[in-house]
Amino acid sequence: MPGLLAALLGLGHFWREARLATRDATHDEALVLAEFLGAAFRLPTPAGAPPHSPVAALLGAPSRLIDSTAELNVLSPDGHIRWSPRPREVGQRHPAAALLTQPGPQWARSDAHQTEVLRPLGDTSCEGCHPGAGEKPVGMLHLRVAEPLVHRELTDALGGALVAVLVLGIILILAIGVSLHFFLTRPLRRLTAAMRRAEEGDLLVRAEAGGTDELARLGSAFNAMLARLTSMKVEEIDTHRDLQVTKSKLSAKEELEERMADLALLFDVAHSLNSTLELSELLTRITQLVPERLHIPDFSIMLVNADGQLEVKSTFPADPKLEGVAFQVGEGCCGRAAATQRGVYVPDVAEPSSGFTQRGLRPEPDQGAMLCVPMVHTNSVLGVLNFRRPEVASFAPEELELLTAVADQVATAVKNALLHTEAVRLTLTDPLTGVPNRRHLFSRLELEVARSQRFGTPMSILMVDIDHFKKLNDAEGHRAGDEALRRVCDTLRGRVRKVDTLARYGGEEFMLVLSNVSKEDAFDVAEKLRRAVAESPLLAAPTQPGGHITVSIGVATLPTDAPAQDTVVDCADAALYASKRGGRNRVTSYAPGMEVHPNRERGLSKPHDPSAAQVAKA
């Protein structure tokens, strides 16, 4: 395109210069010829020759001074043709006659292809033939010289070349445009469309890559890039699928780990709780273990007491003021949990719509979450576990399930502890009277003897026996005898200290261990108890002598009467039999020699055995 433009400019310049040069040459030629012809008119005419015969001879010469490219006319001053190469035009008015009215020297003009010259004829030398020739022209020489053919052909050739170059340029531009359209624009559009589809996510599209040009190589490179991207996309899909599988496995693993952690927690809870059957120790372990392992900052255990109320037994952090606080079933969140036997969860205790009420269980916070889970064993509510956190909605559903399982574990452990306590109570307690039995009595007696021997303090024993008990059984039946035993026991139990031990020794005999009591004080206590039984209106019995149940009591003191446990029991037993032999309904302190009684006379190995004592008394 720059070369074509330079060619066009060069041809245009040369054509213009050629036109100017041709016109100037024609103009100069016309002026010279007009001057020459004007000079010929001034030549003298030979004698006997027609006027201006030299001019006629010159114009008719074989050289043909005036050829077909020139036109010569001689005009009269008024513009009529006097002489012309074409005789038929002589006498006619020439079109250039209008210029004759413009006086002046020679006039000439040139146009695109010819030069026209109008020259006045006549001067003083012509006055011989033309009077007044010196004052005004006698005629006008009109000369029109055409541009030489070779010059015209040259300029036409240059013009044609310019047009040809212009046409060639247009054709070249069209050819370039068509070529660009077919070989550049269309491939670029197709490549752009493929790129746009690839940009939209269609990685399976491919660009046309036929040929060896740059666009073909670009298409091949683009296709290779798309193939690589397709492979990467496939790898990404595979990787994403593998990641999803791995993620699901990890999620399952995390869930399994959480389940394992929950199971481990439940195992630890079960192991820790089942390692003891003492209720107090069990509650202490629960209070320590659950907040530590479950990250519960506020925790409390409530058990159903004998009145059917929920009573706080243990708290974390420890707060003695809260222990013993009782709730009715249905009162507060814990009461609702016990009433419905289902967990009660309050995400935000500050919300009025939550219905949160928990009287006396920690100061009410501004916000927080609370969960009350009942401890249910065989459809029986044993108590409630209260979990509390200061954050709102801080208990996840998985935690609710876990804490419910923990509550079930705790319920089983508490039930076992209660059963153990009841079994121990039944083992160590007489089921008829509710006081300790003989096993508990001798266990307690060993402790009191050891304390007395270590600190050097006295310890007294009262052996109590109901008088004529066999007659009561025979007269009123064993049910009346059992009721008499319970009433006598209640009378004795209501008049002794808490540090003293009242136990059923066997049959209708009771033993009372008085800690740190001298022999004289023990006798006073025994006398007070005897009178209390003898004067109790609940112990009236018409079938008994005197119409009332009475007791006989024997008193012995360690170390005054005996240095050891067995001997002091024998002394108390001997003193009891002394009361029996003395008439019953009396108190007798041990004195030396009282150990000789029917038990020892019969050679029984254990004189203080209640069954042997009953045989001796019988």
Nearest to 575 by CA among 559, 550, 557, 563: 557
Q: What is the pLDDT of residue 181?
A: 83
Q: What is the pLDDT of residue 95?
A: 74
In angstroms, the CA 42 to CA 121 distance is 9
In angstroms, the CA 340 to CA 539 distance is 47
- Strand spans (E) along 347-485: 369-377, 380-389, 459-466
Residue 190: CB atoms within 10 A of its CB come to: 14
How far is C-alpha 381 from the geometric centre of its chain's CA atoms?
41
Structure token digits, residue 529: 């108890």
In angstroms, the CA 618 to CA 611 distance is 11
| Strand ranges of the sheet holding 380-389, from the earlier edge strand across to the other edge | 326-327, 310-316, 298-304, 380-389, 369-377, 344-346
Q: Is the dihedral of CA 481, 485, 490, 496 positive or negative?
A: positive
User: Does 317 sit behind a cis peptide bond, omega within 30 degrees of 0 on the bond before it?
Assistant: yes
How open is the CA angle 214-217-221, to the nearest 5 degrees?
135
* pTM beyond cutoff 0.85: no
Residue 592: CB atoms within 10 A of its CB come to: 8
Q: Parallel, antiparallel, or unpaired: how do β-strands 587-589 and 551-558 relate?
A: parallel
Nearest to 442 by CA among 290, 596, 568, 277: 568
Read off φ and ψ for residue 146, nearest 5 degrees.
Answer: -80, 155
SS3 sequence, 93-150? ECHHHHHHHCCCCCEEEECCCEEEEEEEECCHHHCCCCCCCCCCCCEEEEEEEECCHH
Read off φ and ψ for residue 121, nearest 5 degrees.
Answer: -115, 145
Nearest to 344 by CA among 335, 352, 353: 335
The conformation of residue 64, written as its DSSP 8-state character, comes to -
The conformation of residue 285, written as its DSSP 8-state character, comes to H
Q: What is the pLDDT of residue 610?
A: 40
Domains of the chain, earliest start first? 2-153 (3.30.450), 291-411 (3.30.450.40), 429-617 (3.30.70.270)
In the chain, what are the helix, strand and coil shares in percent, each to the nearest 5? Answer: 55, 15, 30
Query: Angle between the 397-428 and 438-455 helix axes, to the nearest 10 degrees?
Result: 80
End-to-end CA, the chain: 152
Nearest to 392 by CA among 367, 415, 429, 411: 367
Q: Could you list the mean pLDDT of each consecutive 10-residue stretch along the chain, which spans 618 residues?
A: 78 76 77 75 69 67 55 76 75 70 58 73 67 67 71 72 82 86 83 86 79 82 86 86 87 78 73 74 83 83 89 86 86 87 86 57 64 89 89 83 84 83 76 86 90 92 93 88 91 90 90 93 94 90 87 93 90 93 92 64 33 36
CB 336 within 8 A of CB 379: no
Q: What is the pLDDT of residue 52?
A: 67
In angstroms, the CA 75 to CA 91 distance is 9
Q: What is the pLDDT of residue 366?
A: 59
Nearest to 402 by CA among 281, 283, 293: 293
In angstroms, the CA 373 to CA 324 distance is 19
Q: What is the pLDDT of residue 616?
A: 36
CB 511 within 8 A of CB 496: no
Structure token digits, residue 106: 């020679």
Using a CB cutoff of 8 Å and minimum separation of 24, what contacts does 263-269 make?
265/293, 265/294, 265/402, 265/406, 266/402, 266/405, 266/406, 266/409, 268/293, 269/293, 269/406, 269/409, 269/410
Using a CB cutoff of 8 Å and minimum separation of 24, what contacts does 92-97 make?
94/142, 96/140, 96/142
Nearest to 73 by CA among 90, 55, 57, 61: 90
Q: Is the dihedral of CA 348, 353, 358, 364 positive or negative?
A: positive
Give the Å distances, CA to CA, from 135 to 34, 122, 126, 132: 21, 9, 11, 5
